Amino acid sequence: MNRTLPILLCLSLLAGCGEDAADQKAVDDDRLSAAEPSLEGEPLVFSADNTYLPLTLPVPRGNEYRSDLALLPQDATFAALTTEFGGTVLTMPILDETDARFDPDGARMNPSRYQPKKRMGDLFDEIEEHVTDKGHTAWSQYVLVFDLFRVSETWLVRWDGKLITQFDQPGEYGLWRDDMREEIIEAMIDGIDEASEDHTVTHVVVGNEMERLLLGATPTRKWPNSPTEFANFVSFYAEARAAIKEAHPNVKVSAGLNYDRLISHVAARYTETGDRATVTWSERRYAWEQIAETLYADADFLALSSEPDPDEFQADANNIPDGHYAMLAEYQGDRPIVWYAVNWPVNSDAEKSLQRTYLERFKVLNAGLDIELVAYRRLQDLDEASCNSVIKALNGPITDCTAGMFRISGAPGFTYDVIGARE
C-alpha cells in the first residue's frame, strides 16, 4: 500500500514548516476564535447506564500476573460493582512486557504468549471466579482499549527484538512496517474474538493516548517528538478500523487521545514560542482540527482520556476553567464521547481527596456534551511491591500507582463515593 500521500499530508500539518504552512496557519488564526468556549447545559449525571468499571491488565501478585479484579475479594464489593456499573472498560497492552517471562527474543519467537488474547481469557476466568461464582451478575458490556505503548512510554510495542537505532526508515517506532501492522491488527482481532465469545464488546479503542507520539521529552517522560510516527499511526488506524469492522461489523471503533495534552502540550506546537502558557483557544481549536480530526473523521465515537496537569491549575481542580471541555461541543457533531479513562494525578494516599474534587468538577464541566460513557482510570491503587515491579522498574508514570477508585486495602477511596454512588 502506498502511504506517501497521507504521511506527507500529516507532516505538512504537524511540522508547521515552510511558507505555505505558515500562511495557512495565519488564515486559520483569523478563522478560529481565541475566546473561551461557553459552558451550556446541565452537569453530567453518573448512572449505571453510562458509568463503566475500569479494569487493567496485568497486575502482579507475588509471582502471578492477574487482573486487578482479583485484588478485591469482598462479596459486598462485588455486589456493588456489578449493580452500579453498566459495563467495563478493559485497558490492555498489545505486548505484555510485565510478564516475568518477557524478553524481546522470546517475544519475537513466540508472540502469542505475550499478546492480549491470553490475558483476556485469564480475565474472564477471574470474572467467573470472583463474581458469578459468588452469585452476582457480571457486567453486560465491554469496551476494549488496546495500548500500543510500553509502560515506559518510550516506544510502541513490537515483538521483533530490534532496537530503535537499527531502523533506517522514517518513524523510529517501526509502525510504517507492513509486518508490524499486520501482527498488531491480528492480535487486536484475536483479542476481540476471545472477548466476544461469551460477552458483548460494544467499543474498541485503537491506541491509548496516541498524541504522545507528537510530544518531546520532559524530566519525567521520554516521548519521541515524532510527527512522522504520528502520521504512520493515522494510516495504521485506518487499516485497523477497516479490519475490525469487517470482522466485527457491530463494534464501534475509534482511536484514543488524551484531551488535556491535546489542548496544552500539542496546542503549544502552534504558538510562536512553543510555550504552553501562551496557548489560546485559537491554538486549541487548531490542534483539534489538525490532529484529532485526522483520526475522528472516520470514527464511531470520540475516544478520549482526561488527566489534567495539576501544575497548570495551581494543584486545585476548582481552577480548571468553565470552558475546559466545552470546545468539544463545537466539534463532536453526531459522534458521542467515550471518556475511557479520567483521573486527577496524585502521588500519595494523602492527596486522594484532590481526585474527588476533580471528579465533581468534571461532571460540571461536561455539561451539554453527548457523553456515551465514562470510566475512571484504574480500579485499585498498586501496593509498593506492585508499583515497584510494574511502574518503577519499567520507568512508567509513578502517578499510575495511586490512580485507583479503591485503596490498596480494598476500601473505597474518595472517587468511588462520586462515581459509584448513584444520584
Residue 245: CB atoms within 10 A of its CB come to: 15
Mean pLDDT for all residues in the chain: 84
Is 269 in contact with 313 (CB distance < 8 Å)? no
Q: How confident is the model at residue 409 (pLDDT cuts 50, 70, 90)?
A: confident
- Phi and psi, residue 29, nearest 5°: -60, -40
Q: Which residues are paired to 92 by β-bridges? A: 146
Break the chain into its structural domains and give their ranges. 4-14+38-419
pLDDT in tens, 110-133: 666 677 777 787 788 888 888 888
More confident residue, 88 or 119: 88
CATH architecture group of domain 4-14+38-419: Alpha-Beta Barrel (3.20)
pTM of the entire structure? Answer: 0.91
pLDDT in tens, 167-201: 445 566 778 888 888 888 998 999 999 899 888 99
